[in-house]
A = this chain, B = another copy of it.
Amino acid sequence: MDTAALVAAVRDGELRLHELEDRADADAAAEARRRLLAEETGADLETVGAYAFDAADAESNIENAVGAAQVPMGVVGPVAIDGGAVDGERYLPLATTEGALVASVNRGCAAIGAAGGATARVLQSAMTRAPVFRVADVGEAGAVAAWVRDSFETLAAAAEATTSHGELREVTPYVVGDSVFLRFAYDTKDAMGMNMATIATEAAAEVVERETPAELVALSGNLCSDKKPAAVNSVEGRGRTVAADVEIPGDIVEDYFGTTPAAIVEANTRKNLVGSAKAGSLGFNAHAANTVAAAFLATGQDMAQVVEGANAITTAEVRDGGPASGASGASPDAETSGGALYASVTLASLEVGTVGGGTALPTQAEALEVVGVGGGGDPAGSNADALAEVIAAAALGGELSLLGALAADNLAGAHEELGR
């Protein structure tokens, strides 16, 4: 059928919008949908339709396809990273529509580079899924929780039978009245792992239902917690818990940001710590979500998981650069500028993968290649770890740059006043 015929078939009710692929290939179905939408809404979908890949390549990623959203992609770096999974310089593509974001992150990365690079570490890796079960009463809840604590091997066997890569690390029971939540935590290697964890947990949940009186109510009970801003993730982590830090001599701070370590520390304390405290926030940072979102978009991550990516804490302190403080690499000049700046970003729940999800889509796969982490790593999990460390280092760059700008604006104001 040609496009007109397909459109007519939908209009006539012969075919539903999502059934177009039954009659045509993916590109033709998308074209038909664009035509239909154009006619019904007056919108012209020409650019949406001008995507540079075969629609069939995205069939596992989208339904009711009409084309592609095209988001400008820039690049930051290279930034030198002394990490657990990455060692050396890396570029990071960022896709965003927010002007100045790439420039800002890049400026921060440049300052990090001038100071000798960032240190980064994946501190924990665990994808979680937490089904909720109904029990008769709190007595039964206690018994089920006890059974679960005693039956890790049984549950692991069931869960791991569903996957060739995933390993069950821990199952933690939480009880609220007659609801029992079991938080299953998996090592999912280079995959972000949500699907893997869900399938494995479904199998384990069947065992729980078979062996105990608990009845499954929902395979996800929000203790996971996926795509919600939840303290359980901030505290216990989800996906990668990853941190990056740097110590920047005062003269480099002055060169790159036009301000002092002390001014940046004050901005960080009043804004990121005290301000976030007063706001009842789970995010104690300036704009970590910006870097996370742009990196996620470029590299094919799940954009709704930016929510958890924002569970980040940024710290800053003035260090004297001397050996007593355990700091290293501060230049003597740091002293004359009032010490060196130590800054860190810790992302509690950064959910990333280099296989699965959107990572195989053409532009996304290319972006992962730029980072040098396309596909599965060797050992398994090392590519996703490396990606997490690069994102953390870039987020640190973004924090430094924005804090520097905020602090410099005010110094500037102060200077103007003094100049009067």
Contact = CB atoms under 8 A, between A and B. Distances in A.
Contacts of A44: 366, 369
Interface stretch (A1-9, A174-182, A250-258): A174-182
Given A43-B366, A97-B300, A231-B235, A71 B68 contact: yes
Contacts of A130: 275
Interface stretch (A58-66, A150-158, A159-167, A375-383): A58-66
Interface in A132-153: 132, 134-142, 145
A284 interface: yes
A362 interface: yes
Interface residues of A, number: 172
B313 A346 contact: no
Given A64-B74, A270-B134, A366 B106 contact: no
Contacts of A217: 266-267, 270-271, 406-407, 410
B71 A75 contact: no
A196 interface: no
A419 interface: no
Contacts of A58: 72, 97
Interface string A341-360: 01111100000000001100
A177 B362 CA distance: 35
Given A102-B63, A302-B97, A72 B361 contact: yes
A411 to B, nearest CB: 11
A300 B294 CA distance: 13
Contacts of A229: 229, 281-283, 307, 310-311
A64 B106 contact: yes
A18 interface: yes
A358 B75 CA distance: 18
A178 B283 contact: no
Contacts of A72: 51, 58, 61-62, 65, 67-68, 361
Given A74-B62, A99-B62, A232 B138 contact: no
B315 A222 contact: no
Contact of A73 (B65, B209, B243, B313): B65
Interface in A71-109: 71-76, 78, 82, 84, 91, 93, 95-103, 106
A274 B273 contact: yes
A52 B51 CA distance: 7
A313 B66 contact: no
A290 interface: yes
A420 interface: no
A303 B307 contact: no
Interface string A28-51: 000001000100111111111011
A40 to B, nearest CB: 7
Contacts of A345: 177
B245 A177 contact: yes
A172 B62 CA distance: 41
Interface in A213-255: 213, 215-223, 225-236, 241, 243-245, 247
Contact of A278 (B96, B176, B278): B176
Nearest to A300: B97
A71 to B, nearest CB: 5
A207 interface: no
A369 B178 CA distance: 31
Interface in A170-190: 174-179, 181
A62 B119 CA distance: 27
B230 A69 contact: no
| Most B Cβ at <10 Å: residue of A61, A65, A358 | A61
8 contacts: A61-B96, A64-B76, A69-B297, A71-B71, A97-B364, A121-B142, A219-B409, A297-B297
Given A121-B142, A181-B275, A232-B280, 14 more contacts: A18-B103, A45-B366, A48-B363, A62-B99, A69-B297, A119-B137, A134-B266, A177-B274, A222-B278, A226-B287, A227-B287, A269-B269, A274-B315, A306-B306
